[in-house]
A = this chain, B = another copy of it.
Amino acid sequence: MRTNELLPLLPDLAVLVDVVEAGSFSAAARLQGSTPSAVSRQMARLEAALGLTLLERSTRRLRLTSGGQEVVRHARSMLDAARAACDGAARHASTVAGRVRLAAPKAALRQIIHPQLPALLQTYPQLTLELQVSDQPADLIADGVDIALRLGDPPAGYVARPFMVVRTKLYAAPAYLAEHGTPQHPSELVRHSCLHLAEQAGDDEWCAVRDNERVVVNVRGRYASNHSEMRREAAEWGMGIASLPDFTARQALAAGTLVAVLPAWQLLGRYQGTSWLVYHADRYRAARVRAVVDFLLGVATQQGYGAASLPAG
């Protein structure tokens, strides 16, 4: 029998098992929350489809035929297998195991996520994490990405949890500032060596804002790079004042190799705003994806990136 001929019989076979176990149509209907007439018709349809009387019945009496006994035996197996399928699905859905693919910009991966891997993998011994550097907006279907860290507006159709707020700020080595003085206002930056992005035209025009104040400064420097790690190292070497996403400067600030310059100000450009953890909602909520998302959100809160109180996207 081809599957599509079989398909409509499957629920009725299951109802047959219920009927036999309950002892009557009425009792089976009560168990299922349906009605005796519905059960009666289900049995009649099944018998018609199989070309065999399964149950001999009158009011108050119900008895399986010999053919019915054989069919019920197989129908019980069918039901047991279906229950096993659902139980297996439930177990899989609730076990933190398997592979999670996380795509994030390199800087965030390196500075924030990468250092947390030992703790995450120790917490979930059956978890496999695949990190993908992705500075372009990744599509979650592509290469089976489960979670993406996305700066800026989250895409429609996904769940987006706020992870951190990113600001671009200025930093310099203490030695450089000792030699060249510490600027008190952005306008003074014109007299300093400024390490900027040089990624596209206009990157040497810094737009600094504080409260209601906004200053545009054309800066110069002997070094520029769109690689924030290289700019940070150059600043640590005393080559000038570097613009950096604030989270990338954290370790150097803690080590004392950089200090914040004009800390009340931030630069506006293409790298500010909220970073979101983005994942599918209507596909599934596998335990492993949820576990990784929750872990990372905990890290952000614990380390004070200050986005956890923002509403979800």
Q: Write 24 A-B pairs (CB below 8 A) sorted by A numbering.
A: A1-B87, A3-B32, A6-B14, A6-B82, A6-B83, A7-B15, A9-B86, A10-B10, A10-B11, A10-B78, A10-B82, A13-B82, A50-B86, A50-B90, A52-B90, A52-B92, A52-B284, A53-B286, A65-B98, A70-B89, A71-B88, A74-B84, A78-B79, A78-B85
Compute how far the CA of A10 lies from the CA of B10 in the bound complex, rounded to whole angstroms. Answer: 6
Compute how far the CA of A36 lies from the CA of B96 in the bound complex, rounded to whole angstroms. Answer: 32
Q: With a CB–CB cut-off of 8 A, which chain B residues contact A9? A: 82, 86
Q: With a CB–CB cut-off of 8 A, which chain B residues contact A15? A: 3, 7
Whether B92 pairs with A6 at a CB distance below 8 angstroms is: no
User: Is there a chain B Cβ closer than 8 Å to A310's Cβ?
Assistant: no
Whether A78 pairs with B82 at a CB distance below 8 angstroms is: yes
Q: With a CB–CB cut-off of 8 A, which chain B residues contact A218? A: none
Chain copies in complex: 2
Q: With a CB–CB cut-off of 8 A, which chain B residues contact A63? A: 144
Considering the complex, which residues of chain A in the window 39-83 have a beta carbon less than 8 Å from any beta carbon of chain B? 47-48, 50-54, 56, 58, 63, 65-67, 70-71, 73-75, 77-79, 81-83
User: Is there a chain B Cβ closer than 8 Å to A4's Cβ?
Assistant: yes
User: Is there a chain B Cβ closer than 8 Å to A285's Cβ?
Assistant: yes
Whether B79 pairs with A74 at a CB distance below 8 angstroms is: no
Interface string of A1-31 (1 = CB under 8 A from B): 1011011111101110110000000000001
User: Is there a chain B Cβ closer than 8 Å to A222's Cβ?
Assistant: no
* Residue ID in chain B nearest A48 by CB atoms: B282
Whether A82 pairs with B88 at a CB distance below 8 angstroms is: no
User: Is there a chain B Cβ closer than 8 Å to A270's Cβ?
Assistant: no
Report A's interface with B, CB cutoff 8 A.
1, 3-4, 6-11, 13-15, 17-18, 31-34, 47-48, 50-54, 56, 58, 63, 65-67, 70-71, 73-75, 77-79, 81-90, 92-93, 98, 141-142, 144, 282-286
- Given A10-B11, A78-B85, A85-B78, A34 and B92 contact (CB-CB distance below 8 Å): no
Compute how far the CA of A144 lies from the CA of B66 in the bound complex, rounded to whole angstroms. Answer: 13
- Given A7-B11, A34-B4, A88-B71, A52 and B93 contact (CB-CB distance below 8 Å): yes
Shortest distance between the CB of A91 and any CB in chain B (Å):
8
Neighbour of A74 across the interface among B4, B81, B141, B283, CB < 8 A: B81
Shortest distance between the CB of A9 and any CB in chain B (Å):
7
Whether B88 pairs with A283 at a CB distance below 8 angstroms is: no
Compute how far the CA of A8 lies from the CA of B92 in the bound complex, rounded to whole angstroms. Answer: 21
Q: With a CB–CB cut-off of 8 A, which chain B residues contact A73? A: 85
Compute how far the CA of A1 lies from the CA of B87 in the bound complex, rounded to whole angstroms. Answer: 8
Q: With a CB–CB cut-off of 8 A, which chain B residues contact A144? A: 56, 63
Whether A90 pairs with B4 at a CB distance below 8 angstroms is: no
Neighbour of A89 across the interface among B17, B52, B90, CB < 8 A: B52
Whether B283 pairs with A47 at a CB distance below 8 angstroms is: yes
